[in-house]
Copies of this chain bind each other. A is one copy, B any other.
Amino acid sequence: MRRINLGLIGWGTVGTGVTKILEDKEISGALTARLGAEIFLKKVADIDITTPRDCSIPKDRLTKNAEEILSDPEIDIVIELIGGIEPALTFILKAIDEGKNVVTANKALLSQHGIKIFDKAKEKGVNVGFEASVGGGIPIIRAITQGLIGNKISSIYGIINGTANYILTRMSDEKKGFDEVLKEAQALGYAEADPAYDIKGIDTAHKLAILTTLGFGARISLDKIYTEGIDRITLLDLAFAKELGYKIKLLALAKVDQDGLEVRVHPTMIPIDSLLSSVDGVYNAIYIIAGYTGPTMFYGQGAGQLPTANAVLSDIVDIAQNILSSAPGKGMTMAHKILNLSEKAIKPIDKIISAYYLRFSAMDRPGVLSAIAGILGQHSISIESVIQKGRGEKAGVPIIMMTHEALESDMQKALSEIGNLPMVVDRPLCIRMENLPS
Q: How far, in Å, is A408 (CB) from chain B's closest CB?
A: 30
Is A21 within 8 A of B150, CB to CB?
yes
Q: How far, in Å, is A306 (CB) from chain B's closest CB?
A: 4
Q: Can you spell out 23 A-B residue pairs with CB atoms less than 8 angstroms apart?
A: A21-B150, A27-B150, A27-B151, A31-B149, A33-B341, A34-B338, A137-B292, A137-B294, A138-B296, A139-B147, A139-B148, A151-B310, A278-B278, A293-B300, A293-B310, A293-B311, A295-B301, A296-B298, A297-B298, A297-B299, A322-B325, A325-B325, A326-B327
In the complex, chain A residues 270-325 whose Cβ is within 8 Å of any chain B Cβ: 273, 275, 278-279, 285, 290, 292-301, 304, 306-307, 309-311, 313-314, 317-318, 321-322, 325
Is A299 within 8 A of B299, CB to CB?
yes
CA distance A193 to B190 in the complex (A): 53
The verdict on A187 contacting chain B, using a C-beta distance below 8 Å, is no
CA distance A214 to B200 in the complex (A): 41
Residues of B within 8 A of A307 (CB): 292-294
CA distance A70 to B328 in the complex (A): 31
CA distance A42 to B295 in the complex (A): 31
The verdict on A131 contacting chain B, using a C-beta distance below 8 Å, is yes
What 6 A-B pairs come out closest when comparing CB atoms? A139-B147, A325-B327, A296-B300, A137-B293, A297-B299, A327-B327
In the complex, chain A residues 321-355 whose Cβ is within 8 Å of any chain B Cβ: 321-322, 325-327, 330, 334, 337-338, 341
Q: Which of B152, B275, B301, B321 contacts A26 (CB 8 A)?
A: B152
Q: Which of B285, B314, B326 contacts A147 (CB 8 A)?
A: B314
Is B310 within 8 A of A150, CB to CB?
yes
Is B313 within 8 A of A150, CB to CB?
yes
Count of A interface residues, CB-CB < 8 Å:
58
Q: Which residue of B lies closest to A288 (CB)?
A: B300
Residues of B within 8 A of A285 (CB): 297
Given known A142-B142, A143-B142, A150-B27, contact A334–B310 (CB-CB < 8 A): no
Residues of B within 8 A of A30 (CB): 217, 341
Is B297 within 8 A of A300, CB to CB?
yes
Residues of B within 8 A of A294 (CB): 137, 300-301, 304, 306-307
The verdict on A221 contacting chain B, using a C-beta distance below 8 Å, is no
CA distance A307 to B338 in the complex (A): 22
Is B296 within 8 A of A137, CB to CB?
yes
The verdict on A146 contacting chain B, using a C-beta distance below 8 Å, is yes
Partner-B contacts on A (CB < 8 A): 17, 21, 26-27, 30-31, 33-34, 131, 137-139, 142-143, 146-152, 217, 273, 275, 278-279, 285, 290, 292-301, 304, 306-307, 309-311, 313-314, 317-318, 321-322, 325-327, 330, 334, 337-338, 341
CA distance A214 to B273 in the complex (A): 33
Residues of B within 8 A of A217 (CB): 30
Q: How far, in Å, is A402 (CB) from chain B's closest CB?
A: 24
Q: How far, in Å, is A160 (CB) from chain B's closest CB?
A: 14
Q: Which of A297, A330, A337 has the largest number of chain B CB atoms within 10 A?
A: A297
Q: Which of B139, B292, B296, B310 contacts A309 (CB 8 A)?
A: B292
CA distance A408 to B249 in the complex (A): 42
CA distance A322 to B324 in the complex (A): 13
Q: How far, in Å, is A282 (CB) from chain B's closest CB?
A: 10
Is B292 within 8 A of A146, CB to CB?
no
Q: How far, in Å, is A362 (CB) from chain B's closest CB?
A: 37
Is A317 within 8 A of B150, CB to CB?
yes
Residues of B within 8 A of A150 (CB): 21, 27, 31, 310, 313-314, 317
CA distance A327 to B142 in the complex (A): 19
Residues of B within 8 A of A306 (CB): 292-294
In addition to A299-B299, A325-B330, 13 A-B residue pairs with Cβ atoms within 8 Å of each other are A21-B150, A137-B294, A146-B314, A146-B317, A147-B311, A275-B278, A275-B299, A285-B297, A293-B310, A294-B304, A295-B300, A297-B298, A326-B326
